Amino acid sequence: MKIGIIGAGSIGLLFACCLGERHDIYLYCRTEEQAAKIGKEGILLREGEREIRCRVRRSAAGYAGEDLDCLIVAVKSYHLPALAGELKKIPGRIPLLFLQNGMGHLPFLEGLPHRTLILGSVEHGAMRTEANRLHLKGRGVTRVALFRGDREFFARLAKGLEVPGFPFLVEDDAEEMLVRKLRVNLIINPLTALLQIPNGKLAENPDFYQAARKLFDEVFAIFPADGREETIRHVMQVCRNTAGNRSSMWKDLAEGRRTEAEAILGYALEKGKERGIRAPILETLYLLIKGLEREKVE
């Protein structure tokens, strides 16, 4: 298959490297410099003690009319509005797969003309260390669900994307899939970013765990599910499974980048307001993250 990927951060590089084992990859970077470096040196992926060099079919600073079988959009949610014009130039028959955190980007998708729109939830732990270097800290799966389009076509596409060791799991309900990940992100991201701790500490440290439980109470009130204790156990298991990982929100703050606070925390607060649910802990964390973002980014 011919697969395009917009965005060469940690997730974009990971998908380019892993999917490139079986597919032709067209990687669209933000800058000509990064595209040239990847074109010359490839992508260097380190996993444990092993480092491999991955090559892409083409790396460039933007889409150049390639006839793709699928386009993966792997930029942060707040970059999507700036991509609207470019995405609308891509033929409507090409399916788009979006890999953003949170749920704030869903209204943006409604305005796209494409017949097939897919949502993804990535459970791999990866960190970009240089423009073309990536550290894969833990393998998981990519869950995908149909946002718009034909289900049979979507199922065939998801099956066709798979490579060994890099599975795609099809989910029936896109909203349920995203909410399940959103609950996890709402607990892990703000707490680890503010405390500057790896994910596992939320499960290991009893005081941090109690703080996570209090935050979970607010999150669960806004986004309820069957099985309260089962849901918090799932969140804590994710913490343990990614024990050594730094959350994306912590990495963004540490590196002076804008966070996805709006798409994650802001979205949850808006839903809470709509449903008449107060969430003072969540609101406080949101304000603290935005305050740090203002100090570090501006």
Which tokens belong to 43? 């992508």
Domains located in the chain, CATH noted: 2-172 (3.40.50.720), 176-297 (1.10.1040.10)
Residue range 183-192: mean pLDDT, rounded: 97
21-41: burial string, b at 16+ Cβ within 10 Å, e else: eebbbbbbbbeeebbbbbbee
Predicted confidence (pLDDT) per residue in 85-135, tens digit? 999 889 999 999 999 999 989 999 999 999 999 999 999 888 899 999 999
DSSP class of 173: -
pLDDT grade, residue 28 (50/70/90)?
A: very high
Number of H helices, E strands in the chain: 13, 12
pTM for this predicted structure: 0.92
Q: CB under 8 Å to 151, separation ≥6 — which residues?
A: none
Joined together, the tokens standing for residue 192 give 């680890």
pLDDT surpasses 70 at 298 = no
Tell me which residues are annotated as active site. 181
The total of other beta-carbon atoms located within 10 Å of residue 20's CB is 20
Tens digits of residue pLDDT in 133-167: 999 988 889 999 999 999 999 999 999 999 999 99
297 has a pLDDT exceeding 80 = no
With CA atoms as reference, report the closest residue to 2 among 28, 29, 23.
Answer: 23
Do the beta carbons of residue 75 and residue 44 sit within 8 Å?
A: no
